Structure formats: structure tokens, C-alpha cells
Chain A
Amino acid sequence: MNKNYIILTILMLVLAVGTIFLNREEEPKQIEPSKLLQEIIQPTRYVTTDQVAKMIIKGDPGLMLVDVRSNSEFEEFSLPNSVNIPLDSLLTGDNLSYFGIPGTQVVFISDDAIKADQCWVLTKRLGLNSTYVMLGGLNKWMETIIDPQQPSDDEPYTVHETYSFRKGAQMYFTGAEAEVGGSKVKVEVRRKEKTTVAAGGC
């Protein structure tokens, strides 16, 4: 009987027992807090209502709208093709499997951007990428896309350009009649594509 064998056995046992005391994260994978903070302070996650409208109109296949308002609010009104995941049930079921699919961009939508932003922080903590927040939320959506205000004549050209796009988008989303004559802006959605101010957005 070799004494070394006994030492070896004890050493190996100690090592194996030691693994039990390594406190391991049973949580799903998360990114480090300092990394998360770096991501948070960058405003790259924000997309405007115009960009979202453009992507919907173009039928961007990689776009996924996630509505984080409550179920009843979602039933009342929602953007076309959006999915309802209320913030408080974000972690339930397999709701998380909606996010982080390569090639898709998830845009969070809420009344204002605040809830959507909170959702973004939570999903980002789990390391899920290509998620975005619609700035201003549905309130802004109503003010800009559904009911755009005509800018005064002395506004710069780009403002009128945006307005013309919004007018077109308004038609697309509500079926509103185009104002015949009077306004110099042509309500044409297609044309806007050529200008590509910020096509794709995200």
C-alpha cells in the first residue's frame, strides 16, 4: 500500500467536494453591470417614430414591435403587427425567446418611452442584443404620425420633408384622405425612400 495513493485520493476528494462550494449563478446568463452601464449611457437604442413608421410601411421583415403596455391597453389599440408582452410578464413563460434572434430588430413600445426603456435595460442585462426603444412611445406616435402638425412656411425644408412623409404615413395607418390641392407637399410614401435620411434606422 503506497502512502502516496492515500494522499492522492484525499486530495482528489477535497477538490471534488470543493466544487460544491463554488457559488454558481443559477440565473440565466447576464452581462456584467459595468458593461450594462456602458450600454445604458449610449443613446443608440432610441429610434424615432418616423423610423418605426418607415420600417412598418416598407414591410421590413426583420422588424418586431413589442408592446410592453398591459393587455387591456393593447387590446384597445396597438400598432400593426406588434406583439404584446406586458412589462410585468416579461420573464414569464418563454417570452424572452422573442429577443436576440439574429437579423431581427426588436422595438419596444409603451405610452412614453419610459416603460419601453425599462424593458430594454432588463433584456440588455440578459445580454440580448438588437433591441431598441421607440422614443416618445405611442403618445409621440399619435402626435407625429397619426396627427402630424403642419409646419409653418418659414420652417426649414427638412421639416417639410418630414411632414410630407408623416402625412403619407398617416394615410397609410389611418386611411385618411389626402388633402387635395392647397398643400404643396405631395403625399407620397415611396418617394421618401430615395432621400434616405436615415433608412433602416437601427
Chain B
Amino acid sequence: MHIHELNPWRTLIALSVFVVLLIVGFLTMKKPLMSYQLNMTQSVEELTESEAYFFPWELEGVINKETTDVVLFDIRNNFVFGQGHIPGAENISANNLSSEENIARLEELKKMNVTVVLYGDDELHANGPWMLFRQVGYDNVKLLLGGYKYYFEHKEDLAATIDDDGYYIGFPRHNYAEMAAPKDGSAAGTSNERQEVQVQRRKKTVVAAGGC
């Protein structure tokens, strides 16, 4: 065996160090607090599922303590919460949503099969957190349609809102085309002569250059 040939002992030592390094890596790897349970396609589909929403008239039972498996989370800040909130709601302001205790609590509630209803000022306010929690697998989290605003306006007769659809948003309330039609007498057709829109698309990312 020539001196210039690989020394199996040294190679073994080097490879052992490598393995130890990997083991240390595996041991120190932190499990993230949350991880996505739904992929992108599922997340998009999720949005159309009516199961994921909580209707204002359903609040009636919660406030009267008839339904016990529902917890209300108010994500508005402490100050507004103090000024008025849905009876029985807990205040977890948006900043604290991702705290460890909160996640642990969500986990616990999920195990107990308790529905968590998120609400903010309006539907939009709680929309983001609600989407995120559903995407990370808390499928017991629901979004209160209309938010606090709608509740506040109808808190006297919540049960009656079952026939109301004022809390629905996301549909045109105006006839856009008619409203925006040119008013100078010319034919209402501006939207038809829309030109091809010039857009830029992202190119495949080229990462930092370098080389040998």
C-alpha cells in the first residue's frame, strides 16, 4: 500500500464526523409551531366551503349558552374589545394570534371538537388569520360573516337575521358597467374597446452569479 493511496482510517474518521454532524442537525432541528396542512389548491377550494363560515344568526345560541361547543375569538385590539364585544368572546388581539399559548389552545380546542369562531371589525379583518389557521390544519376555525359590525347593528334580533342577507359581501352592489358608462353621449362601449394589456411576467429566477 503506497502512502499516496487513500487512508481508510482517516476516511472513516472524516465520514464519522460527517455523520455526527448530520445527527446533531437532526436532533437540533426545530419543529415549526405551525406547518401547512393544505396545499395551495386545497387552500383555494377551502374558500368556497360554507362549512368554514359562521353565520350571525348562529350567534344567538352561543350568547344564550345553548351551544357550548363554540368559542368566540375577538381579534380586535384590547381597547375596542373593552368598548364592546359579543358576550362570551375572548380577546386575542391579532398580534398574539401566533403566540405559543394561543396555538396550544387552538390545538386543545381542536381535540375537544370545539368550534372556534374568529371575528374582527368586519369580515375582512378576520379573513387573513382565518385563512391561515385553516391552511395550517385547524379546520375547527370558522369566520363570522359580517364581523362585529353586523353583530352590533343586529344584536337585538340576531335570530331574525336568518332571513337577512345583509352580511354577505363580495358581490356587486352597483351596476358597474352602467354607472361607469361614458356620460358625454358617446356609445357605452369603453370597456369593449379595451386594448390588450401589456404586462410583464416574472422570469425564472436566476440566482446570484458566480462559478468556478
Contacts and interface: CB of A to CB of B under 8 A. Distances in A.
Given A97-B202, A114-B123, A117-B124, A33 B132 contact: yes
B91 interface: no
B127 interface: yes
A174 B181 contact: yes
A114 B53 CA distance: 13
B50 interface: no
A177 B184 CA distance: 7
A101 B170 contact: no
B117 to A, nearest CB: 17
Contacts of B123: 114
A118 B197 contact: no
A5 B6 CA distance: 10
B37 to A, nearest CB: 10
A65 to B, nearest CB: 9
B179 A147 contact: yes
Contact of B170 (A11, A112, A121): A112
B36 interface: yes
Contact of B32 (A11, A12, A33, A121): A33
B200 A94 contact: no
Contacts of B22: 15
A9 to B, nearest CB: 10
A37 interface: yes
Contacts of A142: 173-174, 176, 179-180
Contact of A91 (B36, B40, B197): B40
Q: How large is the interface on A (under 10, 10 to 19, 20 to 34, 35 or more residues)?
A: 35 or more
Contacts of B8: 2, 4-5, 8
The majority secondary structure among interface residues of chain B is: loop
Nearest to B95: A41
Interface residues of B, number: 54
A27 B183 contact: no
Interface in B30-62: 32-36, 39-41, 43-44, 47-48
A76 interface: yes
B40 A12 contact: no
Interface string A126-154: 10000000000011001100110000000
B15 interface: yes
Interface string A96-139: 01111100100000111111011001100110000000000011
B199 interface: yes
Interface in A1-55: 2, 4-5, 7-8, 11-12, 15, 27-28, 30, 32-34, 36-38, 40-41
Interface of B: 8-9, 11-12, 15, 19, 22, 32-36, 39-41, 43-44, 47-48, 94-95, 97-98, 123-124, 127-129, 131-132, 135-136, 169-174, 176-177, 179-184, 186, 191, 194, 197, 199-202
26 contacts: A15-B19, A15-B22, A32-B32, A33-B32, A34-B98, A37-B129, A40-B131, A41-B95, A41-B97, A64-B199, A87-B47, A98-B199, A111-B170, A111-B172, A114-B123, A117-B128, A121-B128, A125-B43, A125-B135, A139-B173, A142-B174, A142-B180, A146-B180, A174-B180, A174-B181, A174-B183
Interface of A: 2, 4-5, 7-8, 11-12, 15, 27-28, 30, 32-34, 36-38, 40-41, 64, 73, 76-78, 80-83, 87-88, 90-91, 94, 97-101, 104, 110-115, 117-118, 121-122, 125-126, 138-139, 142-143, 146-147, 173-177
